[in-house]
Amino acid sequence: MYDGDVPRYAPTKASLDEHPVPSWFADAKLGIFVHWGPYSVPGWARTGAALSELAKQGWEKAFANNPYAEWYWNTLAFPESATRAHHDATYGPDFPYERFAEHFRAATRDWSPDPWAQLFARAGARYVVLTTKHHDGFLLWPSAHRSPRMRDWQSERDLVGDLARSVRASGMRMGLYYSGGIDWPFEGRPVRDIAGLVKAIPQDPDYARYADAHWRELIERYAPSVLWNDIGYPKAAEPLRLMADYYERVADGVVNNRFTTRVADGVVNNRFTTFGFDASEQHHDFTTPEYAVLAAAVPTKWEACRGVGNSFGWNRAETADDLLSVEKLVHLFVDVVAKNGNLLLNVGPTGDGSIPWSQAERLLGLGGWLDVNGEAIFGTRPWIRAAAATGDGQPVRFTRKADAVYAVVLGTPPRASIRIPGLAAHANAKIELLGRRGPLAFTNSAQGLELALPGPGPGSPALALRIVPEPVIREP
């Protein structure tokens, strides 16, 4: 770091690693991811299993049966895929993917970003991350740097800027996603396995300049609070210089861990957290496990990303059984927060920008729970213990704030009392159930902290207890 008129950060990992993770990001806990583009017009992928599960049977099978609807163009390249059969039956075998862009442009002319922002704020989100360019290379803003391979492969309307204004007017921060490692118009080969994924990252200098120009244009125009790159970055680009310049423009911005230019050869991560890319050599403010949650709390900041269902882009084939219930969503979110993570929960709008009710309903359910229990989530930090279980076997997750510890019981206790083994409250402690008035009666026993619960109330996916001062851990 530097003082005076010189840049605060040099374009080196050592210098950039001095950048502190800003408190807003540590406090935020919940972000909304939005995957939206021409792939949202067909909005279809095979259902039945998450990509991480399919990958355990081999990556070629996983990509041929990809449940990610935003990979529609790639999955079409598999002649025997369900996506190919659906496409031929619905649009005809001679209908090219590129024509979906025409429909997308027409459908988005009358789109209003305000309902999105209002829904995301109602869900309790503190930031939003929009896919400005996904792997199909289509841009959601009218860039001065048009694709040399497909000159009109971008939106006429500034969808990025319009959403950014609405998001910020609703009190949230705006972040931007950009697929720096994959751009199918540059590398037309279909991705069939991890080796093919690596080969699909364009390495020619023209693409390196193209991707760098886009990121710089996005930073200059929209000053995003989050740079969310995906699938690596071309070696000829200079991501460290980009990051140093970004921090000069947005001092309290954050950068994810997918700008890596190095690949861990032979690594196949069946938990699907990094696609096998090695980010250890690259600066980042947070890591991004995908459809996965860390097993324990860690001191460094991380962000779990996933869809409400098994796809990021809208998938019209998904049913309620494919989507997280409100209860499972709340439990996932609390687990992530207790382990020092944020949840970047994805919404996949339709081609015209409508957010299906099945997704909106989950967001509103999460927001309703946070209206009562947000004190145990926002602005908290991990406690010395992240997890426990009640005497009845229900999971418990812990967070802390000032002198208070929050114990969140995942689910509805089967009786009018709970016991948390290994925990003891001070004699003068005040223990309250968020959303209910008055302190709870408690006792410390050899079996743990015993709490009497108030009478029956509205059902809730999880109960949050505030304990002041923080309790003592007593190991058996």
CB atoms within 10 A of CB 272: 20
- In the chain, the amino acid numbered 103 is H
Q: Taking the domain 13-376, which CATH number applies?
A: 3.20.20.80
Q: What is the helix (H) or strand (E) element at residue 34, kind and residue range? A: strand 30-34
Q: What is the helix (H) or strand (E) element at residue 466, kind and residue range? A: strand 462-468
> What is the reported pLDDT for 371?
97
pLDDT tens by residue, 15-50: 999 999 999 999 999 999 999 999 999 999 999 888
Residue 6 DSSP class = S
C-alpha to C-alpha distance for 61 and 72, rounded to whole angstroms: 15
Backbone angles phi, psi at 244, to 5 degrees: -60, -45
Mean pLDDT of 200-219: 95
According to CATH, the topology of domain 381-473 is: Immunoglobulin-like (2.60.40)
Q: What is the dihedral of CA 363, 129, 141, 45, to 10 degrees?
A: -60
Band (307; pLDDT cuts 50, 70, 90): very high
Task: Dig out the tokens for 185 from the structure.
Answer: 């118009």
Map out the domains of the chain as residue ranges: 13-376, 381-473
pLDDT tens by residue, 396-420: 999 999 989 999 999 999 989 999 9
pLDDT above 80 for 349? yes
Hey, CA dihedral for 93, 94, 97, 103, is it positive or negative? negative
pLDDT tens by residue, 266-303: 333 433 344 555 667 789 999 999 999 999 999 999 99
C-alpha to C-alpha distance for 127 and 132, rounded to whole angstroms: 15
Backbone angles phi, psi at 27, to 5 degrees: -80, -25
**Are the C-beta atoms of residues 335 and 328 closer than 8 Å to each other?**
no
Q: What pTM value is reported for the model?
A: 0.96
> What is the reported pLDDT for 266?
38
